[in-house]
Amino acid sequence: MGRHQAVSDNSQSRFGATLVIGAAASSALAAAALGLAGPANATCLSVNGVGNGVGCTSTPTSFALALGNGATAEAQGRFNGAISVGTDAKTTATGMGNLAVAVGNPGLNGSVRDVVPTDAVAKGSFNRAIAFGNGSGSAAIGTRNTAFLVGNGSDAIAAGDVPPPFVPGNNNTALTVGDFSSASAIGNHRLAAAFGNHKTKIDGS
């Protein structure tokens, strides 16, 4: 498509364990969705900054996994995870405690009206951006936002403001389930849910 809270060391450790468990579950979902994404023609993995290159980059405490021709995954910061599955699929997780998952091949996107790769961007702190579908994209920018979608050519955005450049927002949730639909949670403590095909929701309206 084309988003600080201090914690104790114990909280960081607990969150790190939670992230690993969540990432494992997301990896299982990605593997189950390989039929959607197509054959994986290229693979890269970077963990704790080891194995950088060929499409995957990470820093200590983070990991990046990409499966598919041209797929890339970037996890920069602390306790971040990035998983890309599909041709040209792209994920970016930067900051602290973020998870980005993108599963799909390039496809027509309803918002930009062009063929684009599937992507997910989680930036800031403790955000989740997950996209399952061809030509779809999720973006969660700020603190404790969730952008989740299942569908082709759709978008889910949880941020302070849109369109790009996204302005960070806090505690937003954007959900999209359907083809060529869009949900945008703009501001703080907002919810937007678009269910069905060709639907558009902004902050619940």
Q: What is the pLDDT of residues 124-180, one digit of tens each?
A: 999 999 999 999 999 999 999 999 999 999 999 999 998 788 999 999 999 999 999
- When comparing pLDDT for 25 and 204, which is higher? 204
Continuous H helices in the chain: 9-32, 34-37
Q: In whole angstroms, what is the distance from residue 122 CA to residue 79 CA?
A: 12
pLDDT given at position 36: 43
pLDDT computed for residue 204 by the predictor? 72
192 vs 151: CA distance, rounded Å: 16
pTM of the model: 0.81
Mean pLDDT of the chain: 84
pLDDT at res. 165? 86
Whose CA is closest to 128, among 26, 35, 1, 24?
26
pLDDT digits (tens, 9 = 90+) for 96-135: 999 999 999 999 999 999 999 999 999 999 999 999 999 9
> What would you report as the CA-atom Rg of the chain, rounded to the nearest whole angstrom?
15
* Residue-range domain boundaries for the chain: 9-202
If pLDDT is split at 50, 70 and 90, which confidence band does 27 have?
very low
Assess whether pLDDT exceeds 60 at residue 92: yes
pLDDT tops 80 at residue 12: no
Q: What pLDDT does 58 receive?
A: 97
185: tokens are: 């949670």
* Residue 205: pLDDT band with limits 50, 70, 90: low
The pLDDT score that the predictor gives to residue 42 is 64
pLDDT at 4: 25
